[in-house]
Amino acid sequence: MLFIFLHSSDQEHEKMESSPKKKINFDNTEIAFRNKSNGELNQAYWLFKIISSNFLTNVGPPITNFLLNIGFPIKGAIKATIFKQFCGGETIADCEHTIEQLSLGKVGTILDYSVEGEDEEEVFDFTCEEIIRTIKRADGDVRVPITVFKITGIGRFALLEKLDAKQELTATETEEFARVKARCLKICQAAFDRKVPVMIDAEDSWVQDTIDELALEMMTTFNKESLIVYNTYQLYRHDKLADLKADYLIAKETGFILGVKMVRGAYMEKERKRALEMGYTSPIQPDKAATDRDYDESLRFCVEHLDQIGIVCGTHNEESSRLLTQLIDEKNIPHNHPHVYFAQLLGMSDNLSFNLSDAGYNVAKYVPYGPIKAVMPYLFRRAQENTSVAGQTGRELGLISKEKARRKL
C-alpha cells in the first residue's frame, strides 16, 4: 500500500515508503479523472459551466429553497446534478459507493454530516450520535481515515456567540453549555477509543474563541500518545498564524501532539460585512497575498515541528500543495508520513487529490452527506466558492476540457 492512514496499526505505520519518490504533476488529467466515466465527465463539465454563469449562485438559492418548501418535485434534479457532484448521499450507507470509488484512486473519505442551522436540543443529540456513527464506520477501514464535526452541529450558535462576547450566562445557559461540552467529549472519547482521528471545523470569528478553547481541551485530553483531535486554523484571519504557534508551545509544554488542519477560510465576505456594520476591525487579512503568505508559513512551521504536530493541509491551491510536497522532500520525510495529510472537497480539485495520491501522499476528500434539503446551504456555498475564488471554475473547466480532448469526447 502506497499510503498509510492515521488509524492504521502501529505495525503499518512502520511500513512507510522505501520506493523512489514520484514527482508531482497537477496537470495530469488522465490520473485526475481516470475513475470518471465519459458520462460523468460530461456531466461535471456542464455543471461547472452553469456555476460559472453565476445563475446558480445568485438566483439558485432563493428559488430552490422556495420550491423545496412548497414541496415542488425538484429533489430528483438536485440529486442527479449538484448533489451528486459535491455530496456522497443522504446517509452513511449512501456514501459507500463514493468511498469505494475514491479508494480506487488511493484517496480516503472524510464523512461529513453537513446538516446546518439547527437549534433544538434533540437535534444536537441526534447529530452527536450521527458523528459517532461516522467514527464507528471509520473504525478499522483504512479508506475512511479521518472524521469531522462542527461545534455548531452540537450546540446553539447564539450560546457560543454569548460565550465569545464574555457575557454572563444564565443558570439555564450554563447547563446548556455543559451539555455542549459533554457532546464534544463524547465524540472525542469515541474517536480516542477507536483510534479514529476527528477534526473540529472552524466557524465564524465571533464564535471561534469558544471553539478553540474546546478543541485545545480535547487535544490536551486525547492527544497525549497519538494524534486523535485536530483543530482548524483559518489563515485568512490575520491572527491565526500566531495562534497556531502559541498552541504549539502549549502542546510542547503540556505534552500532547497538536492536531492542525489549516485552511484559508470560507466566510470572508460575511466576516468583512459584519465588521463594517458593527464598527470593529475586520479579523480578515488585507488581501489574498497576505493570506497566501500566512498559509504557506504555517506549512513551513508545521513541517519544521512534525514530531509535535500533525497536519491536514486543507486546500485547493496548487502552489500551497506543491510547496508542502517540496518541504516534505527537502527534509526527506516519507510521502506517506502519518502526520501529513492533504484534503480537498468532493467534486473539486481532482487534479490535486488524485495526482498527490498517485505520488504516494496521504490524501482524503471531504464527503458531505445528509438530507437534500438540509445540505442545500452547504451546496450553495460550494458553488459560491467556485465563483468567488479567482479562476477556480475556469481551472476546473479547463482540466475537464483537456481530459475530454484526450479521450476525444
Question: What single DSSP character describes residue 284?
Answer: B
Q: Are residues 133 and 230 in the same domain?
A: yes
- pLDDT of residue 265 exceeding 70, the answer is yes
149 domain residue, yes or no: yes
The answer to whether 312 and 261 have CB atoms below 8 angstroms apart is yes
Quick one: what percent of the chain has pLDDT higher than 70?
86
User: Of 175, 127, 132, which is closest to residue 152 (Cα–Cα)?
Assistant: 127
Q: Are residues 295 and 396 in the same domain?
A: no
Number of domains in the chain: 2
141 domain residue, yes or no: yes
Q: Are residues 113 and 242 in the same domain?
A: yes
Helix (H), strand (E) at residue 310 = strand 309-314
Q: Are residues 213 and 314 in the same domain?
A: yes
Burial of 19 (0-12, 13-18, 19+ CB in 10 A): exposed
Question: What single DSSP character describes residue 151?
Answer: G
- pLDDT of residue 111 exceeding 90, the answer is yes
Beta-bridge mates of residue 363: 342
Q: How far apart are CA 180 and CA 214, in angstroms?
A: 10
Rounded to two decimals, what is the model's pTM? Answer: 0.90
The answer to whether 377 and 383 have CB atoms below 8 angstroms apart is no
User: Quick one: pLDDT at residue 303?
Assistant: 98
Q: Are residues 81 and 228 in the same domain?
A: no
Grid coordinates representing 108 are 480516503
Contacts of 84 (CB under 8 A, 6+ apart): 43
Q: Are residues 83 and 95 in the same domain?
A: no
Q: Are residues 278 and 330 in the same domain?
A: yes
Q: Are residues 103 and 123 in the same domain?
A: yes
The chain-wide mean pLDDT, for the chain, equals 88
335 domain residue, yes or no: yes
pLDDT 10s digits, 186-223: 999 999 999 999 999 999 999 999 999 999 999 999 99
Quick one: what percent of the chain has pLDDT higher than 90?
73
Confidence label for 58 from pLDDT (cuts 50, 70 and 90):
low
User: Quick one: pLDDT at residue 376?
Assistant: 76
308 domain residue, yes or no: yes
- pLDDT of residue 338 exceeding 50, the answer is yes
Q: Are residues 107 and 70 in the same domain?
A: no
Q: How far apart are CA 122 and CA 128, in angstroms?
A: 10
182 domain residue, yes or no: yes
Confidence label for 80 from pLDDT (cuts 50, 70 and 90):
confident
Q: Are residues 392 and 285 in the same domain?
A: no
Q: Are residues 15 and 148 in the same domain?
A: yes
Q: Are residues 325 and 408 in the same domain?
A: no
Mean pLDDT value of segment 165-194: 98
* Residue 167, φ and ψ in degrees, nearest 5: -85, 150
3-state DSSP helix/strand/coil percent for the chain, to nearest 5? Answer: 55, 10, 35
Range of the domain at 398: 33-87+376-409
Residue 317's CATH number: 3.20.20.220
2 domain residue, yes or no: no
pLDDT 10s digits, 276-286: 999 999 999 99
Grid coordinates representing 307 are 514530531
